Amino acid sequence: MKENKHCDETTPGGSSGEEGISGKYSQILIAILPTFLTSILDVYIDMHLTKYYMEDICKYYSDKSCIEASRFGLVNSFIRSLSLITDFFSATLIDSSSLGQQTLLMICAPIYWMSIVGLFLGPSLYRSEMIPTFIWFIICSLLKNMVPLRVLYDTSIVRMCKLWNVKDRSDLFSVKHQASMYGGVLGAFLPSLLRFILSSLTLSENQITRVYIMIGSLLIIGSYVFMSSFFRNSREMNSFKKEKTEEKKSVSWIPALKKCFENRAFVALLCLFSYETLRGLLWNGLYIFYITKVLNLEGANFDFWTGVLNTTGMIFAMIFSPLWQYMASKYGNYNTWLVSYLVQIPIGVFVYLFVDYSSTEPQIWNYLPFFVLLTITGRSSGFLLDSIKTTVFDYDELRTGERREISLEATWSFLPRYIDLISSSVSFGILSYFNTYGLSVEERTSLKSGTYTLMGKHSISVQAALLPSLTSIVCLFLMYRFPINDQKHAEILDLIRKRKEEDNHSKIIDPLTGEEIIIHEESDKNSQKINKKSREEEDYFFTFELDMIKSNTSWYGKWLVEIEIITTISMTILFGIFGYKFIMNVLFGEDIYASLFLWLSSVTFTLSTFFLSRISVAKKLRKQNCF
């Protein structure tokens, strides 16, 4: 057997033959078990807590206990805005903390468990109305989302496979994705299964809720037991710690961001992901209400049919995935990707036309055939996008000489997550507007929370069925503009192989831009460190800014530091103003405006941090250019 010389060509098991294969799959099994259990928990919690807090509480307690649609959207936007910050600091804490992973798990797990218990118990914990339901929901949801368990687990997965070869990494993430799908199916059926088992018993709704909490607690405990086992058995953790102590690398997120935006293929997918998130503002979170209000599946029917739909989607995805794989092998990933998306576009239009929102009878049989078609064309071909994304990773390696999957993935999600901050607020705000459209003040006052008018049901039908189809035409255009097809990708791989064989001395021409690619390689380690640091400092500024800074006649280089300071102060002041407006609109119940100011305050806070981090580098650049 040929010996592997590169660190990225090792085998998980550390040996060859059957022993290596056994070691590989045992590590993969230990790694994906937490994913399976947490996927069950995610569906178990998220699908049913939305309905619980917006509808069921009204039935079991009082009409005032429910959270209004607009307020529910605002709460979710607020939680997302904080998670943008907490996710970054969580990752930094995990990287820099001297505490072991098991210790962090012991600290985080009880907090997460208490937040889940609090969410399920809800108003039954306090019989008085001293604490509004949405305040309780905010507190528990913040605890649930700010505990960095997922960050801890995901970063550990990446560290574990850091030295694996490409095939073994693909096997790991493929099995992890399948475990997530199986867990989602089981999580969708779990509530209906519980209700079927408990139907023979004379239990109150509070007692059934406590059974839900007990099952959820067992899932949490099980997932953390497997996480702990994964942390203990992961063989790459020790090598990572040794590597970390040998060379401590500074985190430079702005230079990494600039490198990403110099990648044309990355920018093309970023535009696609951002637009997907932007159009999702119109219907985010409304699928549950489409099932309950348009398809008229309430109570036990809701629990049963959500399980049926998830299972049906899983089965058809498994059946038709080989067909899409065959088409991809014959016609290429890129062409198959375009075809799979093209056939999805008209399905939503047919759903809108054939499912009668004004009917009071269940509409599941009118909806199910189109759901199956959407599963065949969409869910079963979902692996194609992952294949397209790997072409961007390879192109980035050709341009930079580095493998930066994590940086690219993180940057892909950054802008869409900012757009997603107001997702629930927009969709629920539109629904709230049309649900009371044409009603008098008295009729609006008498309308019970969780009740939807005919106009409201029509709004749900348009938002959840028709608009996704109509707006997807732009997505197809953006996908068509993606610059890397299968032929270009093959050329990129050949160029990467050629450069490795010739030790970076060959002339490489970018197959997308036609420009020569220059990788800076210095033989002397000291000069390499100095030049690398100098390039990273320049990467804090965009190309047009660097041209202005280096121009002796430019005023920009002379006043560079003052410009950065003034901009930082301005963004900080705007952040304070928007934050104040957000608080005042929340107090006066103007949730749609509150969501807007929450988004503006998040953006200005990020910009102030961005310009603040450039001040020290601006001082060095001005000194270097003798201003």
Q: Which two tokens stand for residue 294?
A: 């348009």
Q: Look at residue 606 in the predicted model and tell me its pLDDT.
A: 80
Rounded Cα gap, residues 384 and 377, in angstroms: 11
Query: Taking all residues of the chain, what is their mean pLDDT, rounded to a whole number?
Result: 74
Q: Look at residue 56 in the predicted model and tell me its pLDDT.
A: 60
The residue assigned the tokens 């033959």 is: 17
Say how many Å lie between the first and final Cα of the chain, rounded. 60
Q: Which amino acid belongs to residue 527?
A: S
What percent of the chain has pLDDT above 70? 65
Q: Which of 112-126, 162-176, 256-270, 318-332 has the lowest mean pLDDT?
A: 162-176
Rounded Cα gap, residues 500 and 520, in angstroms: 14
> Domain spans of the chain?
1-245, 534-627
Q: Which of 278-287, 408-417, 613-622 has the lowest mean pLDDT?
A: 408-417
State whether residue 224 is helix, strand or coil: helix
Angle at 34 between CA 29 and CA 38, to 5 degrees: 140
pLDDT digits (tens, 9 = 90+) for 548-568: 777 766 677 788 888 889 999
Q: Look at residue 268 in the predicted model and tell me its pLDDT.
A: 92
Rounded Cα gap, residues 156 and 237, in angstroms: 8
Q: Indicate if the alpha-carbon torsion angle 310, 313, 315, 318 is positive or negative.
A: negative
- DSSP element (H, E) containing 475: helix 467-480
Where helices occur in 97-165 by DSSP H, the ranges are 101-121, 133-146, 149-160
Inter-residue contact 291 to 297 (CB < 8 Å) = yes
Q: Class assignment of domain 1-245?
A: mainly alpha
pTM exceeds 0.85 for this model: no
What residues are paired with 508 via a beta bridge? 517
- State the pLDDT confidence band at 234, using cuts at 50, 70 and 90: low
Rounded Cα gap, residues 406 and 155, in angstroms: 10
Rounded Cα gap, residues 155 and 157, in angstroms: 5
Closest-CA residue to 214 (of 200, 197, 231)? 197
Closest-CA residue to 27 (of 180, 234, 165, 232)? 234
Q: Look at residue 463 in the predicted model and tell me its pLDDT.
A: 92
- DSSP element (H, E) containing 387: helix 383-400
